[in-house]
Amino acid sequence: MLIGYHASHEQFSPSELLNFVQAAERAGFGAIMTSDHIAPWSEQQGNSGNNWAWLGAALATTSLPFGSLAIPGGWRYHPALLAHLAGTLAQMYPNRFRWIAVGSGEALNESVVGSGWPEKAERDARLRAGADVVRDLFRGETVTVRHPWFAVEEAKLWSLPARPPEIFGAALTAKTAGWMAGWVDGLITVRKSKESMQELVGRFEDNGGRGKPLVLQLQVSWAASKEEARLAAWQQWRSAAAPPTVLADLKRPKDFDEFTKILIPADMDELIVLVTVGSELLEILDELASCGFEEIYVHNVSRDQYGFLRFMAQEVLPHIK
């Protein structure tokens, strides 16, 4: 099992986050995963640096492999531009910029370019079309296509990596996992109940995903006590209460704050794993492994990242097989 560290651009400035991933490597994490936002989920988080600019510095100052979320549907990033960004990083850092996880995006990030926010069916169509463009460019092809949402004319990557990033599908539901299974190189999702995760993995494998990598982002709130962990989760990550449809359609951080304003700290027990000792996290990691996930990125939503990294180095990572 590979245990990675999730770098949350929404919560920390790019310079802070650079220090955290360097510290994560020293702590013994095996890889890094990053988000790709232009706005945070809450005004309480207060940050959102450019992921692609930051990745160049992060790869240059660590030796770990990286993966990143990416939205190829043609809003913030035209798929040819996205392929150019990811391909350049993979060429500069061979075998270290390993994958991009493509999704249909959220209005929070993509609507800022002023081209509207369509229904899910169109977002999925744009996702598939954009991912196909990215894959063809990674193969070294010259691409010309015209879609209702974006066009590509004689695009080609002239600085190709020896090994381009794999294209994973980011899925929150079993339906989406099944739809993606046949055309992505792997799956990434977030932790849910064991039954929900088994259903999602089963749908993926039954529709063409069998044998492909299974990756998971695990959100936890670490602190010295459950009360501190609960309060940190409530202050920083109440957006976890938003179902996928709401998560995709709210446009501003203050909209998420408004949607979750009725929550109290005790509600976070059902949304975020509260961790104080290593055995609690190791038990959850065992559960995830039993569902087939072999690459898990732990996202500590509390502000105390250095304390969390010390905790992982002392109580968790030495016990991972």
pLDDT tens per residue across all 321 residues of the chain: 999 999 999 999 999 999 999 999 999 999 999 999 999 999 999 999 999 999 999 999 999 999 999 999 999 999 999 999 999 999 999 999 999 999 999 999 999 999 999 999 999 999 999 999 999 999 999 999 999 999 999 999 999 999 999 999 999 999 999 999 999 999 999 999 999 999 999 999 999 999 999 999 999 999 999 999 999 999 999 999 999 889 999 999 999 999 999 999 999 999 999 999 999 999 999 999 999 999 999 999 999 999 999 999 999 999 997
Longest dimension (CA), the chain: 57
**What is the four-CA torsion angle of 118, 172, 182, 207, rounded to 10 degrees?**
-120
Asked whether the beta carbons of 213 and 168 are under 8 A apart, the reply is yes
Under a CB-based contact definition with an 8 Å cutoff, are residues 216 and 296 in contact?
yes
Catalytic status, residue 37: yes
Contacts of 195 (CB under 8 A, 6+ apart): none
- What pLDDT was estimated at residue 321? 76
- Any catalytic annotation for residue 283? no
| Cα dihedral 64/79/14/48 (nearest 10) | -130
- 257-285 CB burial, b ≥16 within 10 A, e <16: bebbeeeeeebbeebbbbbbebebbeebb
Query: Hey, how many other C-beta atoms are within 10 angstroms of the C-beta on 252?
Result: 14
- Residue from 9, 37, 78, 299 carrying the catalytic annotation: 37
Whole-angstrom Cα distance, residue 282 to residue 72?
35
Length in residues, the chain = 321
Half-sphere exposure of 109 (CA within 13 A, CB side): 28
- Let me know if 195 is exposed, middle or buried by CB neighbors in 10 A (0-12, 13-18, 19+): exposed
Provide the whole-model pTM.
Answer: 0.97
Query: Which residue out of 10, 106, 110, 295 is catalytically annotated?
Result: 106
Q: How many CB atoms lie within 10 A of CB 176?
A: 23
| Per-residue model confidence (pLDDT) at position 273 | 96
Q: In the 8-state DSSP scheme, what is residue 140?
A: T
Q: With 0-12 CB in 10 A as exposed, 13-18 as middle and 19+ as buried, what is 243?
A: exposed
Residues 216, 188 contacting (CB under 8 angstroms): yes
